[in-house]
Amino acid sequence: MQKVIDNWRGFFLPYQMALHELESDFKIIDLAWKTQHGYSPIEHMKTRMKTIKSLVEKIQKKEIHLTQEAVRNEIRDIAGVRIVTSFIEDVYMLKEHIEQREDIRIIRVKDYIQDPKMSGYKSLHLIVETQVILSNEILWVPAEIQIRTSAMDFWASTEHKLNYKYQGETIPEDAKKQLIELAKASSLMDKEMSRLRAKLLSN
Which residues of this protein are in contact with ligand 0O2, per CB under 6 A? 50, 54, 77, 110, 117, 119, 121, 125, 156, 159-160
Residue 120: left if φ>0, alpha if ψ -120 to 50, beta else—which one? Answer: left
Closest of 136, 185, 132 to residue 24, by C-alpha: 132
Considering beta carbons, is residue 90 or 159 the nearer one to ligand 0O2? 159
Q: How far, in Å, CA of 187 to CA of 62, rounded?
A: 32
Q: Closest approach of Cβ 77 to ligand 0O2, in Å?
A: 5
Closest of 135, 185, 142, 182 to residue 163, by C-alpha: 182
Whether 144 is catalytic: yes
Q: Which of 144, 169, 173, 192 is the catalytic position?
A: 144
Considering beta carbons, is residue 126 or 132 the nearer one to ligand 0O2? 126
Contact (CB, 8 A) for 156 and 163: no
Q: Closest approach of Cβ 203 to ligand 0O2, in Å?
A: 37
Contact (CB, 8 A) for 15 and 49: yes
Considering beta carbons, is residue 25 or 159 the nearer one to ligand 0O2? 159
Q: Closest approach of Cβ 25 to ligand 0O2, in Å?
A: 20
Q: Closest approach of Cβ 21 to ligand 0O2, in Å?
A: 19
The catalytic residues are: 144
